[in-house]
């Protein structure tokens, strides 16, 4: 029997205390509509959240809770906060994350994942972190995605960014461009197609979504003149996926594909590397884009942007992507895989 109440409990991790995370959380939780579909609470730091409330000129109060199940009992007009750190002033300097901040951030993510795995909350939504400070604190992960995959003990995870029109998943994520070709293997392409198909089914309720699989090289390698990944790796992976009944098409040239994808021709796009997929995604969906980790046994969504140090402390960062991430998490939690 799960402890999750009728309205889903959503754990929001505060992210880097030196970035815009705390502010966009306050701005999102200021909107009464956020509470219509879920019970959100924040896992983070009191000092950072109090400062964010001031920065945003908000009338919200902080209400500390001791356990996730208390989140539904906080008075209206409050933010439920599960405090997991007590950072010092020097760890709260905008734009200058410290090792202590990196350690705190790690604690928020771990705690949220554990609550999801124990089914005490329906989903976790993450505010942006600084990956360098996470690593400086001794946690050697390129981002939330890989950390969560390890906590959930799975290798079959995929990063997808989704907006109202485009959904793009990535075969390789945070890798130096020079390393990408060696990492685009038959197994990784096939796994990404499979996990993307399952994810798109869950997001769209379409039984047989159409997936466009991108080439790695210009003009799909131009018959081998500009590379052989299309012939040797990507086409065989698409063929294997099609034999499994997955409606995957390609390889398709990345330069033209997004023109058609933005017209709604495909239900999902499988890109070979980070910027190939995320530049068009953010061109179209910077405001409403959501980062989703597919393939986990838990629901995790996130904003599509980073710590935005240039805006931290101004109250000007947009909360739209966080609102979309909360809404997506609520939808996914109500529509199990
Ligand atoms: N999910 C996560 O935890 C993510 C973390 N990052 C981390 O964030 C840090 C900074 O990364 P950047 O590449 O500079 O990307 P960034 O997204 O932080 O900033 C890029 C540009 O977008 C603007 N921007 C970002 N969020 C905004 C918002 N909510 N409203 C209005 N404008 C916004 C910034 O002001 C900046 O001009 C890095 O340490 C990176 O690893 C980046 C992406 C996702
Ligand atoms: N570019 C997307 C990104 O950096 C998000 O990474 P993660 O922290 O969600 O793994």
Q: In this predicted model, what pLDDT tens digit does every residue of 231-273 receive, in sequence order?
A: 999 999 999 999 999 999 999 999 999 999 999 999 999 999 9
pLDDT, residue 3, reads: 53
Smallest CA-to-CA distance from 144 within 159, 155, 156, 154 is with 159
On whether 144 is known to bind a ligand per the annotation, the reply is: yes
pLDDT of residue 201: 95
Of 3-7, 159-163, 250-254, least confident by mean pLDDT is 3-7
Assess whether 210 and 66 both reside in one domain. Answer: no
Which ligand 1 atom minimizes the distance to the CA of 144?
3
Same domain, 18 and 105: yes
Q: What is the pLDDT of residue 235?
A: 97
- β 300-303/290-294 pair status: antiparallel
Helix (H, G, I), strand (E, B) or coil at 220: helix
Helix (H), strand (E) at residue 25: helix 21-29
Name the residue of 13, 126, 143 to mutate for ligand 2: max ligand atoms within 8 A of Cβ: 143
Are 136 and 192 members of one domain?
no
Mark whether 186 and 204 lie in a shared domain: yes
> Per-residue confidence at 336, pLDDT binned at 50, 70, 90?
confident
Whether the per-residue pLDDT at 4 is higher than 80: the answer is no
Distance 144 CA to ligand 2 centre (A): 6
Nearest C-alpha to atom 23 of ligand 1 is from which residue? 308
> Which of 180-200 are b and which e, b meaning 16 or more Cβ less than 10 Å from the residue's Cβ?
bbeebeeebbbbbbbbbbbbb
Mutate to test the pocket of ligand 1, among 307, 311, 322 (most ligand atoms within 8 A of CB): 307
Q: Are both 283 and 306 inside the same structural domain?
A: no
Element (H, E) at 293: strand 290-294
Residues in contact with ligand 1 (CB, 6 Å cut-off) = 20, 24, 128-131, 144, 291, 302, 305-308, 310-311, 317-318
Predicted confidence (pLDDT) at residue 176 exceeds the cutoff of 90 = yes
For residue 291, what are the β-bridge partners? 161, 302
Of 288, 304, 327, the last residue of a domain is 288
Task: Count up the domains in the chain and report the number.
Answer: 2
| pLDDT, tens digit (0-9, with 9 covering 90-100), for 264-304 | 999 999 999 999 999 999 999 999 999 999 999 999 999 99
Q: Tell whether 183 and 252 lie within a shared domain.
A: yes
Annotated binding-site residue? 219: yes
pLDDT at residue 76 greater than cutoff 90: no
pLDDT band at 2 (very low <50, low <70, confident <90, very high): low
Ligand 2 center to residue 296 CA distance, Å? 15
Say yes or no: 138 and 116 in one domain. yes
pLDDT of 214 > 80? The answer is yes
Per-residue pLDDT tens over the stretch 106-143:
999 999 999 999 999 999 999 999 999 999 999 999 99
pLDDT at 6: 80
pLDDT (0 to 100) of residue 127: 98
Residues 124 and 163 in one domain: no
Q: What is the CATH number of the domain that holds 148?
A: 3.40.718.10
Q: Are residues 30 and 88 in the same domain?
A: yes
Residue 285 in marked binding region: no
State the pTM of this model.
Answer: 0.96
Show the tokens assigned to 45: 């730091």
Is 63 marked as a binding-site residue?
no
CA of 310 to the centre of ligand 1 (A): 9
Question: Which strand ranges, in their side-by-side order, compose the sheet holding 61-64?
Answer: 61-64, 78-85, 39-45, 9-13, 123-126, 300-303, 290-294, 158-162, 167-170, 268-271, 211-214, 248-252
Q: What is the mean pLDDT of residues 220-224?
A: 91
Residues 137 and 159 in one domain: no
pLDDT band at 64 (very low <50, low <70, confident <90, very high): very high
Q: Residue 5: its pLDDT value, please?
A: 54
Residue with the smallest CA separation from ligand 1 atom 3 is 128
Closest Cα to residue 197, out of 207, 189, 187? 207
Same domain, 284 and 303: no
Query: Rounded to the nearest 10 degrees, what angle do helices 144-151 and 99-117 cross at?
Result: 50
User: What is the complex's ipTM, to 2 decimals?
Assistant: 0.98
- Diameter over CA atoms, the chain: 65
Q: Which domain holds residue 251?
A: 155-288
Tokens describing residue 319 = 């909360």
Q: Does 148 share its domain with 162?
A: no
Report, as an integer, the average pLDDT of 315-327.
Answer: 97
């Amino acid at each position: 029997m799960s402890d999750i109440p009728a309205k889903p409990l959503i754990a929001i991790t505060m992210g880097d205390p030196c970035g815009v995370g705390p502010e966009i959380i306050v701005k999102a939780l200021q909107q009464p509509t956020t509470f219509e579909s879920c019970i959100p609470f924040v896992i983070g730091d009191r000092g950072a959240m109090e400062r964010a409330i001031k920065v945003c000129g908000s009338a919200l109060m902080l209400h500390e809770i001791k356990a996730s199940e208390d989140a539904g009992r906080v008075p209206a007009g409050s933010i439920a906060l599960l405090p997991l750190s007590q950072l010092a002033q020097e760890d709260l300097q905008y734009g200058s994350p410290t090792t202590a901040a990196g350690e705190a951030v790690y604690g928020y993510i771990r705690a949220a994942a554990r609550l999801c795995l124990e089914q005490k909350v329906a989903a976790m939504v993450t505010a942006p972190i600084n990956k360098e400070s996470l690593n400086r604190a001794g946690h050697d992960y390129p981002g939330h995605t890989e950390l969560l995959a390890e906590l959930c003990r799975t290798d079959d995870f995929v990063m997808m960014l989704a907006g109202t029109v485009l959904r793009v998943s990535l075969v390789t994520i945070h890798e130096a461009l020079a390393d990408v070709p060696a990492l685009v293997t038959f197994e990784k392409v096939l796994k990404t197609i499979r996990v993307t198909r399952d994810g798109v089914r869950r997001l769209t309720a379409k039984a047989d979504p159409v997936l466009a699989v991108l080439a790695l090289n210009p003009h799909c390698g131009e018959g081998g003149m500009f590379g052989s990944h299309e012939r040797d790796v990507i086409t065989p992976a698409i063929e294997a996926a099609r034999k499994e009944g997955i409606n995957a098409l390609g390889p398709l040239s990345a330069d033209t594909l997004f023109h058609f994808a933005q017209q709604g021709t495909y239900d999902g796009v499988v890109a070979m590397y980070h910027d190939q997929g995320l530049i068009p995604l953010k061109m179209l969906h910077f405001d409403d884009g959501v980062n989703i980790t597919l393939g986990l046994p838990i629901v995790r969504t996130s904003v599509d942007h980073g710590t935005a140090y240039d805006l931290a402390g101004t109250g000007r960062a947009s909360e739209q992507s966080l609102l979309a991430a909360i809404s997506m998490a609520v939808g996914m939690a109500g529509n199990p895989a």
